[in-house]
Structure 1
């Protein structure tokens, strides 16, 4: 295929044929056009064999590809993305391919990126808010993101995910409240080290105790100093973390109201927890999900 630095385009090849028909010697054509005599001879011989059609660009794709991924593996890659909405790396690990090969297969079959799919239904999202400005702090501990994700508890015997919406509604004991679990998470901006706990509420005391344990966890993994903590504007974060932050020399930062993307790294981690753990498969009890290996 022609590229921007190519010596010859289809028009240049036709000029070679025109000059050859005018009686130019191949050596003179090559010198005038800055190409080799071998190149000139190739285009002349191709013109003799195929006419003007032989001067057009041809695909550089090889006639055979002995090492190409088999159709069976390609179908398995597509099935895993479609049925389980797995990431490229997870598909590659399961199938035994390189992540780059799995990515090429997905692109070849026009499979959309996971970011364009609804995490629950798998349907393509027609529009979503994305940002073109990406950043990463210079070193671990410079900034950490904190948030809470509320998940509905699973009744004993399984909920609608296991039995379908109609079946789950019939089996559910309406007199018994199921309630919620609260997944607290802390994510380092630079290294993406994350720490999460499933707790019973999101009260101020609970948030403060979680932060203390998260600081210890980060220290055990090499992040001994946390400089800044960014959260949303929840009351528990604004008022209950002051003591912990002051004790450890952490400066608190808050996102602008109604702008959750400013805390996007932990928000994206919450979504990963949903797709890779909380809603990955049906669970028969809430305990089974909370203590999954």
Structure 2
């Protein structure tokens, strides 16, 4: 299997896990606050990654006889990458988790997937040209977002707005990962450092706004285990490793499929149903997502 195919498979698995993660995040809100949920999932993700670092980090693979300190200590690039990734991830997850309290898992998945449009637009800021087809996709995505999120009173729901803001930070997260992975950061250690930084950020929010109890945390154990170990520890690490072999634009296409899996999971597990207007909005957003990545030479100039 080539590196490119391996990277694409990792990112597709990431999208599948994240799609189901919206259900776990929504279910967890029945027991604990959004910031507590984020902080707890980061702790579980950090614990889940410790054996992975021990056996599969770059240092562990190059020198199996290295000491524990050598195997776990991140180099300078990895440390800085984890810091920036952790900050963008912490903000994105906090916005998303609060947003899910006020919208459905399916809608949250589709709105979050707007990073597929935002990532190329951010590339324009650093000097990349915006193809004609992408400009059209931006307009189409905006129309789709209108039908998906704007109610009859012509106002965007609070949860929808927060989820849209989270998509901006997830876009930044993708670019930060691409930047540091191109500079040979250790992907597994970077993932651990980002969870540590995100935990510190989320813990500050917990201290300021919430008062969790051990009983409430135990009641939310199943959503937390999925979100912490699988959706965070496994999926975010797969994202970092997969992006190492894949262009950021292609990576966003594959990961945006989480929106489809989120709707399916929301329907199958939570019984969420969208009305015709919302389904039409989802279709427009998904078409925009696909068109933004299709190889159309005439339009991509």
TM-score normalised per structure 1: 0.23
Q: Which has the larger share of strand?
A: 1
Greater relative contact order (CA < 8 Å, ≥ 6 in sequence): 2
Q: Which has the larger share of helix?
A: 2
Max Rg structure: 1
